[in-house]
Structure 1
Amino acid sequence: MPPTLILVRHAQALHNEMKDYSIRDPDLTMLGQNQCLELRKSLMENPLAKEAGLIVVSPMRRTIQTALLSLDWLIEKGVKVEADAGWQENSAKPCDTGSPASKLAEEFPGVDFSALDPVFPDKTSPAASHYHFGRTPLLARARAALARLYTRPEKVIVVVSHSGFLRLAVTGCYYFNADYRVFDFSPQEGMPPDHGGDEAYGLVQHPSTKERGGGLGWSWTHEVVLGADLPDGEVPNELPPVS
């Protein structure tokens, strides 16, 4: 049986506060750190979160920091934190482009980067075409990220990712900073017919987070059609290839 997913948006980061998207791989703000405390309390009281056997993080500073601050109680029990580039944010703007993996591994030794795509943090070169900012690659990336989780043996998996990617390519739902939603898999449903692959991984949200606008109740309740607001073609490179 596929796992239940708890999908979390990172807490407030510097680019959110300052509306400055030129900040490369920004850290959490003080408000963001405080949001993590509220997220932590909510998850600790959530029966499903207590059963989590894996934590997956987008390999960005703000997502890793959110996981370490809000899920430390799971990590202390031995739950693994695994970095997966498939859960990065959509664009190649500086704020959505990661730091070198070697630097992140040194700074966050408790995170497993061993399976991280070696192309990371490149999001613009031909070799990184699956991370380009366009409707087809983003929906395909979401499908691949879900496929990797679908076959995992854990009963519950927590994923810390980004609002744009989660909303436009994965679930159709809005996520306020540090809010989360709970989903079960519904194979072969939920993806648009031209999503670009042979297999779809739809998700069905638990009423507990759907009806109140997220686990913390901070997010909008209305939804969008997957892929509807993504560019049909790829957006020109916003950064030179990352070495």
Structure 2
Amino acid sequence: MPPALVLIRHAQALHNVNKEYDIPDPVLSELGEKQCIDLREKLKTVLPTVGKVDLIMSSPMRRTLQTAKLGLNWLIESGLKIEANADWQENSAKPCDTGTNVSELAKDFPNVNFDNVDPVYPDKTSPAGARYAHSKKAITTRAQLALEHLYSRPEKVIVVVSHSGFLRQGMTGFWFFNADFRIFDFEERKKETNGPYKLKQWDLTTKGGLGWSWTDPVEVGDGLPEDEGIPEADRKLPE
């Protein structure tokens, strides 16, 4: 049986404060660190209804790794490690959405497993990094590959810390406010038709697990450029 997925957007980072997208791989803001406390306390009450968490996966970007470290600290202290995976990084190639070399990250996050991070990371713009290009086809394909990877894993509950653009535009169609989360099950998939991997959200998180996110979904791929380039401007997120 495929695992249940708890998908989390990172808490507020420095580039979210004043939309300063030229900050390279930004860290969490002071508010973001406080949001992680709210996230942690809510997850402590919600996760027991989902089941025992067997795996924490995260985008290899600083703000997601920090969110995982602060928001899931009691799980980490119980022995779970964070597994970094480049498929869950954000969409664009702007400085704020381009990661840091794994050799540097490993020094700052010694308890994270970086062994399975694609060696091309954080490249998104060369032919070698085409899998991570900023285009509708590349992002939706990457989302399917990320789901395929989790679908066949043996764990029963997997928590993933990722980014609003990738989670909304590439994977689920749902909005994620900073530090908010949603819970999903995989829909039944007929292998003989080789159909796409689809997720069904729990009623519990229709407004986000913290109640901070918009409820109306968008079509997967909405706002992404057909070819690599600048997307349509993101709709304004709630304060």
User: TM-score, length-normalised on structure 2?
Assistant: 0.92
1:229 partner letter: G
In the TM superposition, 1:55-70 aligns within 5 A as 55-70=56-71
Partner of 2:4: 4
Check whether the contact 2:4–2:50 (CA below 8 A) recurs between aligned residues. no
The match for 1:207 among 203, 209, 217 is 203
Partner of 2:15: 15
1:218 shift after superposition: 0.2
Check whether the contact 1:43–1:49 (CA below 8 A) recurs between aligned residues. no
Report whether the alignment pairs 1:218 with 2:212: yes
Equivalent pairs counted in the alignment come to: 227
Check whether the contact 1:53–1:80 (CA below 8 A) recurs between aligned residues. no
Of all paired residues, the percent bearing the same amino acid is 57
1:53 partner letter: D
1:18 shift after superposition: 2.2
Q: Which moved more, 1:67-76 or 1:46-55?
A: 46-55
Name structure 2 gaps, 5 residues minimum: 231-239
Find the aligned partners of 1:188 and 1:134 in 2 and give their Cα distance.
26
Find the aligned partners of 1:199 and 1:59 in 2 and give their Cα distance.
29
Supply the RMSD in Å over aligned alpha carbons: 1.5
1:78 shift after superposition: 1.1
Could you give the per-residue CA deviations for residues 138-184 of structure 1, whole angstroms, max 9, x where no partner exists?
Answer: 00000000111111111100000000000001100000000000000
Find the aligned partners of 1:199 and 1:25 in 2 and give their Cα distance.
35
Partner of 2:27: 27
Name structure 1 gaps, 5 residues minimum: 190-197, 237-243
Q: Which moved more, 1:47-56 or 1:109-118?
A: 47-56
Secondary structure (helix, strand or coil) at the match of 2:187 reads strand
Could you give the per-residue CA deviations for residues 75-99 of structure 1, whole angstroms, max 9, x where no partner exists?
Answer: 1111121000000000000000001
Check whether the contact 1:119–1:128 (CA below 8 A) recurs between aligned residues. yes
Secondary structure (helix, strand or coil) at the match of 1:52 reads coil
1:122 shift after superposition: 0.4
Partner of 1:184: 185
Find the aligned partners of 2:147 and 2:195 in 1 and give their Cα distance.
11
Secondary structure (helix, strand or coil) at the match of 1:8 reads strand
Find the aligned partners of 1:141 and 1:31 in 2 and give their Cα distance.
31
Secondary structure (helix, strand or coil) at the match of 1:204 reads strand
1:228 shift after superposition: 2.5
Partner of 1:162: 163
Find the aligned partners of 1:66 and 1:140 in 2 and give their Cα distance.
26
Find the aligned partners of 1:180 and 1:70 in 2 and give their Cα distance.
11
Find the aligned partners of 1:154 and 1:48 in 2 and give their Cα distance.
16
Find the aligned partners of 1:141 and 1:229 in 2 and give their Cα distance.
16
Check whether the contact 1:147–1:201 (CA below 8 A) recurs between aligned residues. yes
Report whether the alignment pairs 1:44 with 2:38: no
* CA 1:228–1:118: 2 relative to 1, 3 Å: same
Check whether the contact 2:36–2:71 (CA below 8 A) recurs between aligned residues. yes
Partner of 2:122: 121
Report whether the alignment pairs 1:95 with 2:89: no
Structure 1 runs (4+) deviating above 6 angstroms are none
1:105 shift after superposition: 0.7
